[in-house]
Copies of this chain bind each other. A is one copy, B any other.
Amino acid sequence: MNLLNRETIQHIIDNSLNKDLFRGQFGLEKENVRVDHEGKLALTPHPKAFGSKTENPYIQTDFSESQIEMITPSFDSIEETYRFMEALQDIVSLELDGEYLWPSSNPPILPDEEEIPIAKMNDPVADEYRHELADKYGRKRQLLSGIHYNFSFDERFLRRLHETLGQGEAFKDFKDAIYFKIARNLLRYRWLLIYLTGASPVFDKTYINKCVSLGHSDDNKSYYFPNMNSLRNSVCGYRNEKPFYVSFDSTHDYVQDLNTLVQQGELLNAKEFYSPVRLKTAKGLNPVQELVEDGVAYLELRLIDLNPLHKIGISKDTMYFIHLFILFMLLKEDEPFGTEDQKMADLNHDQVITGGIEGILHDSRGALGSMKEMALACIREMQEMVRLLNPDGEDLIQILDGEMQKILHPELGFAYKIKSDIQKSTYMKYHLAKAKAYAEESEKSGYRFVGYEDLELSTQLLLKAAVKRGITFKLIDRDENFVLLTKGDHKEYVKQATKTSLDSYSTVLIMENKIVTKEVLKERGIRVPNGDAFRSQEEAFAAYEAYRDKAIVIKPKSTNFGLGITIFNRAFSKEDYQKAFEMAFKHDQTVLLEEFITGKEYRFLVMGDEIVGVLHRVPANVVGDGIHTIEQLVHEKNKNPLRGRGYKTPLEKIQLGETETMFLKNHNHLWSEIPSLGQVVYLRENSNISTGGDSLDFTDEIPESYKTLAIESAKAAGATFCGVDMMIDDITSEASDTNYSIIEINFNPAIHIHCYPYKGKNRKADEKILDLLFGEVED
């Protein structure tokens, strides 16, 4: 069989368009029904955290209040699209309190029809439309969920194709013709897609009560139709009440047929034409008119089931396969697709759902031969297409090999696997177990934004929080963690999560400069380490008498990895004092002398008028259990998913390096030693998180008086976002005039440490930033 148009392929090669052919814009939309811990449809409202159902572009509700719809923006690659959908699922999952995302296209255990909550949209038109649909199709049917796969070619590719292949027609017409050709072919060959992606073979009897039981002994609720791989795509799924045949020959004919159907009252509006493939416009407000004016912007494939075998309901391989299938539809020979052909395509569709791939393919000309043979031919031709056009396509060929296996061996298909797994369990238990496992995966990814792991953790968290409430973002300078957040007309430029428009430039400059910081704090009556700034050794030496009996620190104004710092804990000689200054002056023109401050250091995260979190860090350590060695305890502690390497996680793994070994030895410990139950063994002098230190949340333990001081410190500098580092003698006493000292105010405080501390609650600093920038999420 020779399905490909060799001439077009040669043209693409001759014009070096093959690389651009494989470019495109990809987007996914999917629905998941929320369920409770028993797998029953959740009757709770759409979580408030997702903001407005109509304005959040990422997370919405579909027909039902319990049906969450997740929408990715369009991306240049499948990888990005896939990851963004995964991130969306992580974001949504984390917000579901005791609920889960049902991983199947078929609904969970349903209540009576009228108890299924229709989404409340606060918009009379939208609300009425949903009630009309409920009346027409039934609420249960509306709960069938699936994936929409959106695709458009790279604009440059289309333009250059138009330049070289067009025959004088306008670019819009040329482009529309291409998309309509693909749509026709997709509709014609969709039986193959359904065969390869169908993943909704089994259902609960609360959905349909008149089908065949799966026959498991103690399960009278898991049902199926024999051989059916996709209930959702079947006659029991979501379809127009009767088939409509609309011309796909051109934009003009398509629009005309649709308008006629609406005028005749067959359809409520053009949107109700539930074609498995839709030709979409850019704006999407008035699709029919926009199609005429602006043409097709992208294709929407609507027949993809949620695949419970994969976390987000679709695998990357399936996404690549669908992309190749679309390209194949472009490069295939064109065939007429009149009403009769459409009827036959519907027949093939239904046939593959109920009878698998063993039947005979038909079109208006009659029987075309074995479906299986045609399926295999298609895959082979797709492989040929890849070989001809994509020299780097080895991975794609392998993906196609996998699909070929599914044709040769039906037991490798998704639906088959799912059905046989359910046979060992129940419909409910199987899907609920999957739902919980995926929720746990999301939980573990809580601190990061899948697909954006190159950004700082603080920025990842901020962007996730933004997406959650429907604030869109654009990475303006990715290397710099510089983003534009937009909500309606409100734009905010944010760098590194906390550098925002809410802080003034002078505030930042104050915080950046130690001398100035101390000055503004002192002026407010806030305690800072006493001291002096010296600009010459002579000046510094002259001050010896004034400080000789005090505990002091001598340090260059700009400390750089602690170089040039000397601490005198007790009385010191003039010689040592002078030496310390000589050393410090090697690092800066100005040297600070400060009283040495005792106590423990706490980081107060100030946002607006609030202390969002208080953190104390302790050096890397393990706590004995009387059973394991220190080394074993370290390995155990390092299993915490919050611990990683290279600052990609909120905490770092404890090393078993030279420094730790030396430290243990100096403190008379050995790696092989077994500490007693509750015994704390430290492995480091320094408390940095980067060397395995623990971050301990003290937000609820710190007396209010210290929090007030931290807020006042921020106010003194005029700061909205800052980290106030305070030394406190003893947090069990209230702050007095002498028992604390502010040692620094940081203008770019990390927020992830307060969201994912080693011990303590997530203080939602990411949310707070957005509250301050955009106002709190409204009801």
The reply to whether A515 and B590 contact each other, CB–CB distance below 8 Å, is no
The answer for the CA separation of A479 and B507 in the assembled complex, in Å, is: 18
The reply to whether B590 and A516 contact each other, CB–CB distance below 8 Å, is no
Which of A64-72, A492-500, A569-577 touches B?
A492-500
A556-596 at interface with B (beta carbon < 8 Å): 589-590
Any chain B CB within 8 A of the CB of A408? no
Residues of chain B within 8 A of A505, CB atoms compared:
499-505, 507-508, 747
The reply to whether B590 and A479 contact each other, CB–CB distance below 8 Å, is yes
A474-507 at interface with B (beta carbon < 8 Å): 476-477, 479-480, 482, 484, 492-495, 499-507
A480–chain B nearest beta-carbon distance, Å: 6
Contact of A515 among B19, B477, B535 (CB under 8 A): B477
Q: How many copies of this chain does one complex carry?
A: 2
Residues of chain B within 8 A of A535, CB atoms compared:
479
User: Interface of chain A, helix or strand or loop or mixed?
Assistant: mixed
The reply to whether B718 and A501 contact each other, CB–CB distance below 8 Å, is yes
Any chain B CB within 8 A of the CB of A236? no
- Residue of A495, A504, A507, A513 with most partner-chain B CB within 10 A: A504
Residues of chain B within 8 A of A508, CB atoms compared:
505, 508
The reply to whether A494 and B476 contact each other, CB–CB distance below 8 Å, is no
Q: Decide: A477 near B516, CB < 8 A? Known: A501-B718, A718-B501.
A: yes
Any chain B CB within 8 A of the CB of A611? no
CB nearest to A542 among chain B residues: B19
Residues of chain B within 8 A of A510, CB atoms compared:
493
A181–chain B nearest beta-carbon distance, Å: 27
A505–chain B nearest beta-carbon distance, Å: 4
CB nearest to A719 among chain B residues: B505
Instruction: Flag A13-25 by CB within 8 Å of B: 1 or 0 each.
Output: 0000001000000
Q: Decide: A495 near B509, CB < 8 A? Known: A501-B504, A502-B504, A504-B502.
A: yes
Any chain B CB within 8 A of the CB of A625? no
The reply to whether B477 and A513 contact each other, CB–CB distance below 8 Å, is yes
The reply to whether B493 and A501 contact each other, CB–CB distance below 8 Å, is no
Any chain B CB within 8 A of the CB of A519? yes
The answer for the CA separation of A482 and B519 in the assembled complex, in Å, is: 12
The reply to whether A507 and B501 contact each other, CB–CB distance below 8 Å, is yes
The reply to whether B500 and A503 contact each other, CB–CB distance below 8 Å, is no
Contact of A494 among B494, B499, B506, B589 (CB under 8 A): B506
The reply to whether A506 and B513 contact each other, CB–CB distance below 8 Å, is no
The answer for the CA separation of A654 and B542 in the assembled complex, in Å, is: 44
Contact of A513 among B482, B503, B516 (CB under 8 A): B482
The answer for the CA separation of A510 and B494 in the assembled complex, in Å, is: 9
The reply to whether B476 and A519 contact each other, CB–CB distance below 8 Å, is yes
A658–chain B nearest beta-carbon distance, Å: 32
CB nearest to A514 among chain B residues: B477
The reply to whether A506 and B493 contact each other, CB–CB distance below 8 Å, is yes
The reply to whether A506 and B492 contact each other, CB–CB distance below 8 Å, is yes
A41–chain B nearest beta-carbon distance, Å: 44
- Residue of A477, A492, A508 with most partner-chain B CB within 10 A: A477
Residues of chain B within 8 A of A507, CB atoms compared:
501, 505
Q: Decide: A495 near B500, CB < 8 A? Known: A482-B513, A513-B477, A513-B480.
A: no
Residues of chain B within 8 A of A747, CB atoms compared:
505
The answer for the CA separation of A152 and B19 in the assembled complex, in Å, is: 83
The answer for the CA separation of A118 and B718 in the assembled complex, in Å, is: 44
CB nearest to A156 among chain B residues: B546
The reply to whether A495 and B506 contact each other, CB–CB distance below 8 Å, is yes
A635–chain B nearest beta-carbon distance, Å: 36
CB nearest to A493 among chain B residues: B506
The reply to whether B590 and A476 contact each other, CB–CB distance below 8 Å, is no
The answer for the CA separation of A500 and B504 in the assembled complex, in Å, is: 7
Residues of chain B within 8 A of A493, CB atoms compared:
506, 509-510, 516, 520
CB nearest to A20 among chain B residues: B542
The answer for the CA separation of A479 and B516 in the assembled complex, in Å, is: 12
The reply to whether A516 and B718 contact each other, CB–CB distance below 8 Å, is no
Residues of chain B within 8 A of A502, CB atoms compared:
504-505
The answer for the CA separation of A320 and B632 in the assembled complex, in Å, is: 76
Residues of chain B within 8 A of A479, CB atoms compared:
535, 589-590
The answer for the CA separation of A727 and B501 in the assembled complex, in Å, is: 29
Instruction: Flag A507-540 by CB within 8 Å of B: 1 or 0 each.
Output: 1111001011001100000000000000100000
The answer for the CA separation of A480 and B515 in the assembled complex, in Å, is: 11
The reply to whether B509 and A482 contact each other, CB–CB distance below 8 Å, is yes
A749–chain B nearest beta-carbon distance, Å: 13
Residues of chain B within 8 A of A501, CB atoms compared:
504-507, 718
CB nearest to A499 among chain B residues: B505
CB nearest to A16 among chain B residues: B545
A485–chain B nearest beta-carbon distance, Å: 11
The reply to whether A482 and B516 contact each other, CB–CB distance below 8 Å, is yes
The reply to whether A499 and B509 contact each other, CB–CB distance below 8 Å, is yes
A331–chain B nearest beta-carbon distance, Å: 23
The answer for the CA separation of A312 and B510 in the assembled complex, in Å, is: 36
The reply to whether B504 and A504 contact each other, CB–CB distance below 8 Å, is yes
A501–chain B nearest beta-carbon distance, Å: 4
The answer for the CA separation of A682 and B580 in the assembled complex, in Å, is: 53
Residues of chain B within 8 A of A484, CB atoms compared:
519
Residues of chain B within 8 A of A492, CB atoms compared:
506
- Residue of A506, A507, A513, A590 with most partner-chain B CB within 10 A: A506
CB nearest to A484 among chain B residues: B519
A205–chain B nearest beta-carbon distance, Å: 55
The answer for the CA separation of A520 and B501 in the assembled complex, in Å, is: 14
A216-238 at interface with B (beta carbon < 8 Å): none
The answer for the CA separation of A495 and B747 in the assembled complex, in Å, is: 16
The answer for the CA separation of A535 and B520 in the assembled complex, in Å, is: 42
- Residue of A510, A520, A535 with most partner-chain B CB within 10 A: A510
A577–chain B nearest beta-carbon distance, Å: 17
The reply to whether B506 and A500 contact each other, CB–CB distance below 8 Å, is yes
Q: Decide: A515 near B589, CB < 8 A? Known: A482-B509, A501-B506.
A: no
A-B contact pairs, 13 of them (CB 8 A): A477-B515, A479-B590, A484-B519, A493-B509, A493-B516, A494-B506, A500-B504, A500-B505, A500-B506, A501-B507, A503-B505, A504-B505, A505-B507
Sorted nearest first, the 6 A-B pairs with minimum C-beta distance are: A501-B504, A501-B506, A493-B506, A503-B505, A495-B509, A476-B516
Interface residues of A (CB under 8 A from B): 19, 476-477, 479-480, 482, 484, 492-495, 499-510, 513, 515-516, 519-520, 535, 542, 589-590, 718, 747
Apart from A476-B515, A500-B504, A501-B504, what are 10 other A-B pairs with CB-CB below 8 Å?
A477-B513, A477-B516, A479-B590, A493-B506, A495-B506, A499-B509, A500-B505, A504-B504, A505-B508, A505-B747
